[in-house]
């Protein structure tokens, strides 16, 4: 009876109101174990009870960061996500130790602790700069409370960031920072929710309470661009005998450091053996465009991407070519160097990819970048290239690289807007309406730019059978045959042709037939369901979708209703949608075109974009009505 009363009590009242929280490791209260929901977000499947950190830079220029986290699970949904942890540390300059983790459960009315064994911690090298540390908390289930703690030690140039917000609510989060008086760190607060900051003689305390879960919205780059956190950057420090030493020197210093690096600029200046490769690939060709195409083709065919992204190569070009594998920097810096030795104007461009987040332009640090691409100038044109994806057209870029701006590395570095050719999708259907409403005909799908790469990677990864099956998933279509063109190359559009029988598309109303003339590729739902939005919409690339439908009016029928022509436009030439019909004798053609000229739409543009898609969805859902002749 008493346990039932306690259980009801902690369903109704906030956990903190009970005064039962202890921040000592292992001191988990019955109140925490009995808690069954979070009052301020009853839909939450788990909640972070507290997330506490303490970082100190001592006089020996050592950074020590201690972290302690406790989490309550209300059901099984979030267990895999939050009971399996991954921590990233810098190799060589950081170490992680004192990892502890335990789960707590009530079993037969008693608290049972399940401790993690030391051999459950796994460390893996990602590249020469980063290492990941993984561990799993044992015996976690619905109702469990878990906690873990660890210590990271590093050098004085890196102060760990602190994240206040996650995709589950946080009851309390606190970060204490202590730095010597002669060190000046810049703090950069990111996100819509701002922490409280209290400075005292000991340091600074950053706190937030009752932090709501971060709600993901469609078409974001990475949540790290918007989730609430604070980053720290060492600006300068004072040495009594030398005065003030500035650490953040500017982007010119970053570029200069790369060009002076043996592994980066050193390879560009030397690597004389590449001259022979250039001669073999280029021959007597003088046209810059054709020279670029040949060198780009050589790199793609010679080097396979190992799926690592980085800015500075780990290996010399000779080894990369001999082994036929390389990281993004090894592949694209090689392309830059080949272009330079062929007499083209080429530059490496350092970028932060979409998973890594936006670059903070006011913080000139190389560590903000995690990828490298190539840029070639031809007259007034800037051509951005990435040779990691063997199935991507030359003037396109992988989606990961489409993240705004990059730093052109040269003696006069500059920010450049990273752009790619428009992604294009074209769907053409030619069908006949038979007895009983059976449609038969052909469906041709053509993909170019980024769309071609995505299609090729999908069909090669899945195989033709599963790829075709996936195309028509959810449709009761019979695919009689399929054929593909330019599946393995990258210079021409990727084409598909499908012969289909469709039995579920037409509604027979007796003397009338109703059907949507757009067979495939329509925007079924508006992706922007929320009336308001807190973050920009980022599609990554501009694109064009064209749907063309042709059908013959069956004998004994005539058109009673055709969708009307319609044109929609977004403000500031952001995009355009057009829907037009044409009848020539008994053949009807309908053309639908959707173009987005901007890859990114700001929050203040969201309302117009949402309404634009609302009208697109409604228009593409309109039907043709055929009536039996009297």
Say if CB 335 and CB 389 are below 8 A apart: no
In a domain, 429, yes or no: yes
pLDDT tens-digit map of 224-262: 899 999 999 888 888 877 788 887 889 999 999 999 999
Identify the helix (H) or strand (E) that includes residue 61.
none
Residue 19: predicted pLDDT: 52
One domain, residues 457 and 525: yes
One domain, residues 405 and 431: no
One domain, residues 105 and 178: yes
Distance separating alpha carbons of residues 195 and 162, to the nearest angstrom: 11
pLDDT tens-digit map of 138-152: 999 999 999 999 999
Per-residue confidence at 5, pLDDT binned at 50, 70, 90? very low
Residue 156: predicted pLDDT: 67
Say if CB 350 and CB 365 are below 8 A apart: no
One domain, residues 370 and 455: no
In a domain, 245, yes or no: no
Per-residue confidence at 444, pLDDT binned at 50, 70, 90? very high
One domain, residues 617 and 506: yes
Say if CB 226 and CB 534 are below 8 A apart: yes
In a domain, 400, yes or no: yes
Say if CB 359 and CB 270 are below 8 A apart: no
Residue 449 sits at the vertex; the CA angle it makes with 445 and 452, to the nearest 5 degrees, is: 45
Q: Which of 211, 239, 267 is the last residue of a domain?
A: 239
Mean pLDDT computed over every residue of the chain: 91
Distance separating alpha carbons of residues 302 and 321, to the nearest angstrom: 7
Residue 8 has pLDDT above 80, yes or no: no
pLDDT tens-digit map of 85-98: 999 888 878 899 99
User: Total structural domains in the chain?
Assistant: 3
- The gap from C-alpha 574 to its chain's centroid, in whole angstroms, comes to 22
Q: Which of 417, 450, 470 is the last residue of a domain?
A: 417
Token pair for residue 120?
A: 């459950």
Distance separating alpha carbons of residues 615 and 573, to the nearest angstrom: 17
Per-residue confidence at 10, pLDDT binned at 50, 70, 90? very low
Identify the helix (H) or strand (E) that includes residue 427.
strand 423-433
One domain, residues 259 and 302: yes
Residue 485: predicted pLDDT: 95
Give the residue, 163 or 156, on which the prediction is more confident.
Answer: 163
Structural domain boundaries, residue 620: 423-628
Q: Which of 417, 432, 464 is the last residue of a domain?
A: 417
Query: Where in 58-157 does DSSP place strands (E)?
Result: 62-73, 84-90, 94-107, 110-115, 122-125, 130-136, 145-155
Residue 37: predicted pLDDT: 93
Residue 309 has pLDDT above 70, yes or no: yes
In a domain, 624, yes or no: yes
119: helix, coil or strand?
helix
Residue 15: predicted pLDDT: 52
In a domain, 338, yes or no: yes
Say if CB 542 and CB 597 are below 8 A apart: yes
One domain, residues 447 and 562: yes
One domain, residues 83 and 172: yes
In a domain, 385, yes or no: yes
Residue 7 has pLDDT above 60, yes or no: no
Structure-token match 């009590």, residue found: 9
Most trustworthy range by pLDDT among 1-15, 108-122, 343-357, 494-508: 343-357
In a domain, 479, yes or no: yes
One domain, residues 301 and 179: no
Average pLDDT of span 551-565: 91
Share of the chain above pLDDT 90, in %: 77
Per-residue confidence at 507, pLDDT binned at 50, 70, 90? confident
How would you label 550-579 residue by residue, b for 16+ Cβ within 10 Å and e otherwise? bbebbeebeeeebbeeeebebeeebbbbbb
Residue 546: predicted pLDDT: 98
Residue 76 has pLDDT above 70, yes or no: yes
One domain, residues 99 and 165: yes
pLDDT tens-digit map of 264-279: 999 999 999 999 999 9
In a domain, 244, yes or no: no
Structure-token match 């005909």, residue found: 441
Q: What is the CATH number of the domain that holds 461?
A: 2.60.120.1130
Distance separating alpha carbons of residues 32 and 28, to the nearest angstrom: 7
Q: What is the CATH number of the domain that holds 154?
A: 2.60.40.3140
One domain, residues 589 and 605: yes
One domain, residues 462 and 602: yes
Average pLDDT of span 161-173: 96
């Amino acid at each position: 009876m008493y346990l039932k009363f306690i259980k009801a009590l902690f369903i109704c009242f906030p956990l903190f109101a009970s005064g039962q929280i202890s921040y000592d490791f292992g001191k988990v209260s019955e109140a925490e174990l009995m808690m069954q929901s979070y009052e301020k977000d009853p839909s939450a499947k788990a909640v972070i009870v507290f997330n506490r950190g303490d970082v100190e830079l001592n006089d020996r220029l050592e950074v020590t960061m201690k972290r302690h986290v406790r989490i309550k699970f209300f059901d099984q949904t979030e267990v895999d996500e939050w009971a399996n942890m991954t921590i990233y540390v810098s190799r060589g300059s950081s170490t992680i130790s004192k990892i502890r983790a335990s789960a707590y459960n009530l079993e037969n009315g008693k608290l049972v602790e399940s401790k993690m064994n030391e051999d459950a911690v796994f460390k893996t090298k990602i590249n020469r700069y980063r290492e990941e540390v993984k561990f799993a908390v044992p015996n976690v289930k619905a109702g469990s409370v878990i906690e873990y703690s660890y210590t990271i030690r590093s050098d004085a140039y890196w102060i760990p960031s602190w994240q206040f917000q996650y995709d589950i609510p946080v009851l309390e989060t606190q970060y204490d920072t202590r730095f010597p008086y002669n060190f000046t760190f810049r703090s950069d607060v990111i996100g819509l929710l701002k922490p409280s900051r209290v400075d005292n003689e000991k340091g600074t305390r950053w706190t937030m309470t009752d932090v709501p879960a971060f709600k993901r919205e469609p078409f974001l780059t990475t949540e790290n661009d918007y989730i609430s956190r604070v980053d720290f950057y060492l600006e300068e420090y004072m040495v009594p005998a030398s005065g003030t030493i500035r650490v953040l020197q500017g982007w010119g210093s970053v570029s200069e450091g790369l060009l002076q690096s043996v592994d980066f600029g050193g390879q560009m200046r030397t690597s004389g053996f590449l001259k022979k490769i250039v001669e073999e690939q280029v021959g007597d060709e003088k046209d810059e465009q054709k020279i670029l195409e040949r060198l780009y083709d050589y790199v793609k065919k010679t080097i396979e991407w190992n799926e690592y992204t980085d800015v500075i190569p780990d290996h010399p070009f000779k080894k990369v070519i001999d082994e036929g594998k390389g990281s993004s920097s090894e592949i694209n810096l090689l392309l830059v160097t080949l272009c330079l030795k062929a007499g083209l104007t080429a530059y490496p461009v350092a970028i932060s990819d979409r998973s890594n987040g936006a670059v903070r332009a006011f913080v000139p640090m190389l560590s903000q970048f995690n990828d490298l691409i190539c840029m070639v100038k031809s007259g007034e044109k800037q051509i951005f290239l990435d040779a990691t994806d063997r199935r991507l057209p030359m003037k396109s870029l992988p989606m990961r690289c489409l993240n705004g701006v990059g730093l052109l590395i040269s003696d006069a570095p500059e920010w450049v807007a990273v752009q790619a050719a428009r992604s294009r999708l074209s769907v053409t259907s030619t069908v006949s309406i038979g007895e009983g409403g059976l449609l038969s005909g052909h469906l041709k799908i053509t993909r170019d730019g980024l769309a071609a790469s995505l299609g090729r990677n999908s069909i090669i990864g899945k195989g033709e059978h599963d790829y075709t099956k996936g195309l028509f998933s959810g449709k009761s279509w019979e695919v009689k045959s399929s054929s593909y063109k330019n599946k393995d190359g990258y210079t021409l559009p990727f084409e598909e042709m499908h012969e289909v029988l469709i039995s579920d598309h037409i509604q027979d109303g007796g003397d009338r037939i109703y059907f949507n003339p757009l067979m495939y590729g329509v925007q079924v739902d508006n992706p922007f369901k929320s009336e308001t939005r807190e973050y920009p919409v980022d599609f990554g690339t501009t694109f064009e979708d064209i749907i063309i439908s042709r059908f013959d009016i069956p004998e004994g029928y005539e058109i009673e209703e055709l969708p009307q022509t319609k044109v929609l436009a977004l403000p500031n030439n952001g995009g355009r949608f057009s829907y037009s019909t044409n009848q020539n004798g008994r053949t009807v053609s309908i053309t639908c075109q959707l173009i987005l000229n901007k890859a990114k739409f700001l929050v203040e543009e969201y309302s117009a974009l949402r309404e634009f898609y609302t009208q697109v969805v409604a228009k593409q859902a309109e039907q043709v009505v055929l009536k039996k002749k009297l």
